[in-house]
Amino acid sequence: VDYICSHEEEPSIYSLIPAEFTWRLPKLASAGRLDRMSSGLLILSQSGPLIHRLISPKHHCERQYRVEVDTPLDIDSQAEKIAFEQGSIAIRDRKTNELVKCMPARLEYIDSTTARVWLNEGRYHQLRRMFQTLGKTVVGIHRESMGVVSLDPNLAPGEWRELSEDELRQLT
């Protein structure tokens, strides 16, 4: 939270990384982004093909999020779950302003205002906009996993670790 996935803007996620990693070429890039009001797992790499594999919808790299909304979810009718899983939610494309359907996504209710969501695509502020179409305002997003990599519960916000050889092998 409060950091930007950018090399140009501050405060940047790259300021959290030791200098010996930040001066390398090609530069580190993030696989997807988290907005300033979101938290959780980010994967950084110098490998363009790895980044592409993680973020391209055609590779089906599932991302898991915990999402908190401002008003109670409709757990009884499972309205949100049905809309997400049927792929019936449409949001505006930022470039064309046309409505585009989001890919089907899994949703699991955690409590009255919190859900876990699994996405295979990553559009600009997608979760916020998907819930907004259902009349909900997102007040918190936390990315818990990306592909085979789960956020290490022993890491404090802003801390990092290298991926294991096994994780890298499974991601490529």
Q: Which residues are part of the catalytic machinery?
A: 35
150, 163 contact by CB (below 8 A) = no
Amino acid at 31: A
SS (H, E, C) 67-95: EEECCCCCCCCCHHHHHHHHCCCEEECCC
Q: Is 98 exposed, middle or buried (0-12, 13-18, 19+ CB in 10 A)?
A: exposed
Dihedral sign, Cα of residue 21, residue 144, residue 31, residue 132: negative
Look at the block and give the residue holding tokens 């979101």.
Answer: 38
Q: What is the distance in angstroms between the CA of the first residue and the CA of the last residue of the chain? A: 29
Give the pair of three-digit tokens for residue 89: 């939610």
53, 43 contact by CB (below 8 A) = no
